[in-house]
Chain A
Amino acid sequence: MKIFEMNKSDAILFLCFSAAILAGPILLTPIGAGYPDLLQKFAIFGIFALGFNILFGLTGYLSFGHAAFLGVGSYTAVWTFKLLSMNPIPAIILATVVGGLFAAAIGFVSLRRSGIYFSILTLAFAQMSYNLAYSVLTPITNGETGLQLAQSDPRVLDAAFGRDYGAVLPSPDFFGISMSGYPGFYFCAIMLIICFFISMRIFRSPFGLMLRAVKSNQNRMNYTGLNTRPYAQAAFVISGMFAGLAGGLMAVTDPLAGAERMQWTASGEIVLMTILGGSGTLLGPVIGAGAIKYFENIFSAFNEGILMNAFSFLPESLQHLAVGITSLFVGEGWHLTLGALFMLIVIFLPGGLMEGFNRIRNRFLKRSGDGSGGTADTVPAAAE
């Protein structure tokens, strides 16, 4: 089949990516990230970032409201669990579809404008969704508490197939395999690999080329008599579907949907993930998502006791000094590290983390290759 054809370097990239993701539990254990919940978050936010990158990285449209699609996906998935079945398949299909529909509606309006006007339109829609979900729409969203499963939910499909969960609160399972812990991670990981594949195909397709053209000069495109809006709209819907899927997966691994998932800070986070990793690159957004989630979960957990231990090789006075300084950056100070990281990355690596990798690779290749030693590295498609 033509769709599965790819050139050699892409095939290698795809295989390496898949292998790295599937080996995540072993590879990430030495840095303290090898436990199911964080691995699931890596995969889920990886999908979210991949989708965001199709819009932002390719077309340059900077959406500040993508968290709304994630939130809608989560609500859809939890409602699917409640009404239809605890099997994750219907949940993620519906989450993807509803995320896409929601994106189609918002995109249809927002894409009438470009630049920051577009950003503010998407932000406005997302903030309205968040504010309403938190308050007035509580009957649907369960407001602040978040939508949860209940033992008394109807679960029509499960009932039709004679599945009875007894007196306990059910949790999502894939034909008997519980979706928490490592099985949940592998479920998300496979989704991530599929999404990576799709995203790769889009990058290499004529459609992807068209999207890049939208970014480089929309006016010129319009002068050629070509209407670029349908392309941007398609990219917007695709990225909304990715976000919906990510939201659905969040509910699959942890069946709860809260409104704060849609807040502007959450939308901002995905923008930061993408730029941090390197927007417009295939791998960058996934790496950026991983980096931010790692800081949020691991750096915030270091307390002074752990630091004291880490610096125990120092003499006592130095130990206290070292702990005093480092504790500003970890534990309750983890935000500071994150802020400083953003600044350092963007100052020294304008193309995000991916540029860092490319520079290292280029240096390595050059040393073994022509040895010209120049520093004029090409910057991978910088973001706008």
Chain B
Amino acid sequence: MSKLHTSRRGLLKGSAAAGIALATPTIFTSRAWSAGYTNEPTGGTVTLGFNVPQTGAYADEGADELRAYELAVEHINGEGDGGMLNTFSSKALKGDGVNGKKVVFVTGDTQTKSDAARASAKRMIEKDGAIMITGGSSSGVAIAVQGLCQDAGVIFMAGLTHSNDTTGKDKRANGFRHFFNTEMSGAALGPVLKNAFGSERSAYHLTADYTWGWSQEGSIKKYTEELGWKTAAAVRTPLGAGDFSQYITPVLNSGADVLVLNHYGRDMVNSLTQAVQFGLRDKQVNGKDFAIVVPLYSRLMAQGAGENVKGIFGSTNWHWSLQDEGSKAFVKSFGTKYGFPPSQAAHTTYCQALLYADACQRAGTFMPSGVGKALEGFKFDGLGNGPTEYRADDHQCFKDVLVVKGKENPTSKFDVLEVVEVTPRAQVEYPASLLGGELGPYNDGA
């Protein structure tokens, strides 16, 4: 019963104060509009808004994000074992909250829908006085909430969002992303795929028919074609198609020898399961072993595909089996509290919460422009991804990318992926101008 385990005590401490705040009518205090910047904290606490999917297909991922946030809040407030605060290269946080204020939080359900996510974020800002919004499990939601936070004048720390647009075409000054993107996935996977499968390959893409899918398809094509691969076909599949057989059978006799599944979540679980069912993993084409690639892996979702992930390559932001000090500290802290290892979604949201708190502490304020300046160009280490930099030009973190493979002999149900290669940061870096978009000025709100 992981769920009961999740929150009871941590939440009690974390949001007791927020609970009281909920009861106070804000219309009379008009906290939101009188201060120097939106929701400037005036009491002894500062409120963060954790906006994660609690219903719908990504509810488990959202639950894991929430667990990580609770852990982060504990650590920032000086409770628990301190987790990655001990390995974090910045020592600004002393375990006594942020800027002398205790951190409390409010939660909400994004339902993985833009409208619901914005409504939930607005509640946190307008009613609960949240100074920062973070979380989410899809790019559509991340971009929608990021835009909202820009308008409202609060900081947005993106959760799991992999589309280039979040820090590309749709980037905003108030938004920051720790997670990697499709461009980096492509750059990291390309060379590994070449080593594993050679340069004479013909790839068949099945792509989820929405912006993230196209973005993923584009970067894999770009980097594999550079290495000499051909693209046999790129077929768009409707989101949530369920049964993908009608898209998979044409692959069988197409002459292609690699299948790239640009799908995430349930689509990935279903298309991969079905591709394996159609014998593609054991197939021989042109005298070569047929290969399947899943550019964006999520360990939680890989569990849903069961044995079908064995030997399948992909990329991921972080994996709990990493052996650096930061990752070990985080896994220990999370595992002790909840009894199972954290997912990459949990890791990125934990890091985002810590990075935000640290930036506020270093800036000495919660004002978005001040916090933003402290994050821009910030170089750090010890958060599980090696030396990392928050690039000032597009508010995107640059760090090593993990190329992983489905494990052949898993030792537990959490042990489904193994790290094949850690692609160094230099190899996945790209100029900020590549993806377009304008950050614009910071908005501190009212």
Answer whether residue B438 sits at the interface, using C-beta atoms and an 8 A cutoff: yes
- One of B120, B211, B443 near A138 (C-beta < 8 A): B211
A305 to B119, CA, bound (A): 21
Query: Which chain A positions have C-beta within 8 A of B126?
Result: 35-37, 181
Query: Which chain B positions have C-beta within 8 A of A323?
Result: 8
Stretch at the interface among B18-26, B300-308, B354-362: B18-26
Stretch at the interface among B103-111, B246-254, B376-384: B103-111
A30 to B23, CA, bound (A): 8
Chain B residue with Cβ nearest A253: B122
Q: Please determine whether A309 and B114 come into contact, CB atoms closer than 8 angstroms.
A: no
Answer whether residue B238 sits at the interface, using C-beta atoms and an 8 A cutoff: yes
Binary interface profile of B, 5-44, with partner A (CB < 8 Å = 1, else 0)?
Answer: 0011001111110111011011100000100000000000
Binary interface profile of A, 296-321, with partner B (CB < 8 Å = 1, else 0)?
Answer: 11001101111011100000000010
- One of A131, A256, A309, A320 near B8 (C-beta < 8 A): A320
- Interface residues in B208-229 by Cβ distance below 8 A to A read 209-212
Q: Please determine whether B440 and A167 come into contact, CB atoms closer than 8 angstroms.
A: yes
A185 to chain B, nearest CB (A): 11
Q: Please determine whether A26 and B27 come into contact, CB atoms closer than 8 angstroms.
A: yes
Stretch at the interface among B93-101, B146-154, B186-194, B273-281: B146-154
Size bracket, chain B contacts? 35 or more
Query: Which chain A positions have C-beta within 8 A of B438?
Result: 151
Q: Please determine whether A303 and B7 come into contact, CB atoms closer than 8 angstroms.
A: yes
Query: Which chain B positions have C-beta within 8 A of A332?
Result: 54-55, 59, 62-63, 109
Query: Which chain A positions have C-beta within 8 A of B209?
Result: 134-136
Chain B CB count within 10 A is highest, among A25, A29, A309, for A309
Query: Which chain B positions have C-beta within 8 A of A256?
Result: 114, 118, 144, 147-148
A148 to B360, CA, bound (A): 29
Query: Which chain A positions have C-beta within 8 A of B163?
Result: 145
Answer whether residue A153 sits at the interface, using C-beta atoms and an 8 A cutoff: no
Q: Please determine whether B127 and A144 come into contact, CB atoms closer than 8 angstroms.
A: no
A10 to chain B, nearest CB (A): 31
Query: Which chain A positions have C-beta within 8 A of B440?
Result: 151, 167-169
Query: Which chain B positions have C-beta within 8 A of A306?
Result: 15, 18-19, 22
A340 to B119, CA, bound (A): 23
Q: Please determine whether A334 and B55 come into contact, CB atoms closer than 8 angstroms.
A: yes
- One of B26, B55, B122, B152 near A335 (C-beta < 8 A): B55
Query: Which chain B positions have C-beta within 8 A of A26?
Result: 27
- One of B19, B27, B33, B150 near A29 (C-beta < 8 A): B27
- Interface residues in A104-146 by Cβ distance below 8 A to B read 131, 134-136, 138, 143-146
Answer whether residue B143 sits at the interface, using C-beta atoms and an 8 A cutoff: yes
- Interface residues in A50-77 by Cβ distance below 8 A to B read none
A117 to B139, CA, bound (A): 37
Q: Please determine whether B140 and A144 come into contact, CB atoms closer than 8 angstroms.
A: yes
- One of B123, B147, B151, B170 near A37 (C-beta < 8 A): B123
B97 to chain A, nearest CB (A): 17
- One of B27, B107, B144, B148 near A301 (C-beta < 8 A): B107
CB within 8 Å for A168 and B443 given contacts A138-B211, A303-B7, A305-B18: yes
Chain B CB count within 10 A is highest, among A38, A131, A308, for A308
Binary interface profile of A, 346-369, with partner B (CB < 8 Å = 1, else 0)?
Answer: 000000000000000000000000
CB within 8 Å for A37 and B122 given contacts A145-B139, A296-B116: yes
A331 to B11, CA, bound (A): 13
Answer whether residue A154 sits at the interface, using C-beta atoms and an 8 A cutoff: no
Query: Which chain A positions have C-beta within 8 A of B107?
Result: 301, 303, 331
Answer whether residue A215 sits at the interface, using C-beta atoms and an 8 A cutoff: no
Query: Which chain B positions have C-beta within 8 A of A37?
Result: 119, 122-123, 126
A181 to chain B, nearest CB (A): 7
A190 to B349, CA, bound (A): 41
Can you pick out 18 interface pairs between chain A and chain B where the beta carbons lie within 8 Å of each other?
A32-B22, A35-B122, A135-B236, A144-B210, A168-B441, A181-B33, A181-B126, A254-B148, A256-B114, A256-B144, A256-B148, A260-B115, A296-B116, A297-B119, A304-B12, A305-B11, A332-B54, A332-B62
Identify 15 new A-B residue pairs, CB closer than 8 A, beyond the known A34-B26, A134-B209: A35-B26, A134-B210, A144-B140, A144-B212, A151-B438, A168-B440, A180-B151, A254-B118, A256-B144, A258-B113, A306-B18, A308-B8, A324-B4, A332-B54, A334-B54
B interface residues with partner A (beta carbon < 8 Å)? 4, 7-8, 11-16, 18-20, 22-23, 25-27, 33, 54-55, 59, 62-63, 106-109, 113-116, 118-120, 122-123, 126-127, 138-140, 143-144, 147-148, 150-152, 163, 165, 170, 209-212, 236, 238-239, 438, 440-441, 443
